[in-house]
Amino acid sequence: MTVEHPFAQYIKTLGKGRHGSRALTKEEAEGAMSMILAGEVEPVQLGAFLMLLRVKEETAEELAGFVTAARKSFVLPESCPKIDLDWSSYAGKRRQLPWYVLSALLLAGNGISILMHGMKGGGDRVHTVDALKSLGISASSSLNDALEKVGKKGFAFLGFDVLSPKLQQIMDLRPLFGLRSPVHTIARMLNPAHASLSFQGIFHPGYLDSHQQAGKLLEENMVVFKGEGGEAERNPDLACKVRTVLGGEMKEEEWPALFAIRHVKDEEMDVSRLSKLWRGEIDDEFGKMSVIGTAAIALKAIEDLGTMEEAEAMAEEWWERRDKAGLGRFA
């Protein structure tokens, strides 16, 4: 008699037919992801598991369990700097430049420490690593290196392939499946260094519920919204629904559009314009208000400001008095 593989229980739970299958509990999801990260799963099992999840879509309980397991795989130093904001960046931009990078640096320059993690780049999109490179800022070589940089400079970026090589391998399976996997969602929620606030951008509005509910299950403060191109960036041309979990309370608010007329797609996608805007060498109203608007969403949650207008006013004040020659401090 052939002994059933320990991971088979999770596949069976998800795939036992229309009437027999069910979603995983938070504990089951944590157990399944722990086995995956430990390399205790056969490739055919992993494929079946991922696609069964994709067909039914992940529940908040499953996401919370997956994230819990992933966090346990990170080895943090005994002395870890306090991080205010965990900023996930996994989509890349193809219609407008990644102005959110300047939002993060604006916040970091005013004492809000940020760990940003995301895609290693490539493809037909402009990613965070491309934007940072144009600003003279390099990606960190390890999680410890990133934490050290945050402690010294207030900002660091860590590639997903460095943060979690195993999860990156799973994400890289997308061309084989032709579909995204739960890892694309999990990555945004990782908050590997336990920052005070998790800042997440998504593309599909349907994921707002699952992100918010998973954040509550994880008992952490978080902000999630449909960002420009799927990044955590406010599009100033559109109204923006923002979901939060702050102090255990779930809320939703709508930030209004900042322009009455929509801007056209950026045809050049020239990342050198990021530093030029920061230094005041060019005037780009879309870029400027993307920076200010995105920073305002983070500020309202971090500083516990009363209104959206107060947060926008603070972000604009910080922008106007920024050190135009000061990006070198993050290099």
Q: Give dist(CA 86, CA 191) in Å, integer.
A: 6
User: With contact defined as beta carbons under 8 Å apart, do 116 and 158 qualify?
Assistant: yes
pTM exceeds 0.75 for this model: yes
| Dist CA 158 CA 310 (whole Å) | 31
**Cα–Cα distance measured from residue 184 to residue 119, given in angstroms and rounded to the nearest whole number:** 10
User: What is each CA distance from 327 to 215, 273, 298, in whole angstroms?
Assistant: 32, 14, 20
What is the rounded CA–CA span in Å between residue 301 and residue 297? 7
What is the per-residue pLDDT for 49? 97
Domains 8-72 and 85-330 share a fold: no
Euclidean distance between the first and the last CA atom of the chain, given in angstroms as a whole number: 61
Distance CA 210, CA 61 (A): 9
> According to the model, what pLDDT value does residue 1 have?
58
CA atoms within 13 Å, Cβ hemisphere of 134: 20
* Cβ(97)–Cβ(131) below 8 Å: yes
Q: Rounded to the nearest 10 degrees, how much is the dihedral formed by the CA atoms of 186, 219, 249, 108?
A: -70
DSSP code of residue 93: B
Residue ranges covered by each domain of the chain: 8-72, 85-330
Q: Is 215 within 8 Å of 222 (Cβ atoms)?
A: yes
**Residue pair 62/32 in contact by the 8 Å Cβ criterion:** no
Provide the pLDDT for residue 123. Answer: 80
Question: With left for phi above 0 and alpha for psi between -120 and 50, is residue 59 left, alpha or beta?
Answer: beta
Interatomic CA distance for residues 37 and 62, integer angstroms: 16
pLDDT by position in tens, the chain (length 331)? 589 999 999 999 999 988 889 999 999 999 999 999 999 999 999 999 999 999 999 999 999 999 999 999 999 998 889 999 999 999 999 999 999 999 999 999 999 999 999 998 878 899 999 999 999 999 999 999 999 999 999 999 999 999 999 999 999 999 999 988 899 999 999 999 999 999 999 999 999 999 999 999 999 999 999 999 999 999 999 999 999 999 999 999 999 999 999 999 998 999 999 999 999 999 999 999 999 999 999 999 998 878 999 999 999 999 999 999 999 999 8
Which helix (H) or strand (E) segment is 114 a member of?
Answer: strand 114-118
Asked if residues 35 and 7 have their Cβ atoms less than 8 Å apart, the reply is yes
- pLDDT for the residue numbered 19: 86
pLDDT at 79: 86
SS3 290: helix
Backbone angles phi, psi at 279, to 5 degrees: -80, -5
Strand pairing partners for 115? Answer: 86, 156
Task: Dig out the tokens for 112 from the structure.
Answer: 């809000």
Domain 85-330: give its CATH architecture: 3-Layer(aba) Sandwich (3.40)
Is residue 23 within 8 A of residue 61, CB to CB? The reply is: yes
C-alpha dihedral sign at 312, 318, 320, 325? negative
> CA 327, CA 331: separation in Å to the nearest integer?
7
- CATH class label, 8-72: mainly alpha
∠ Cα 58 62 63 (to 5°): 80
Q: Beta-carbon neighbour count of residue 121 at 10 Å?
A: 17
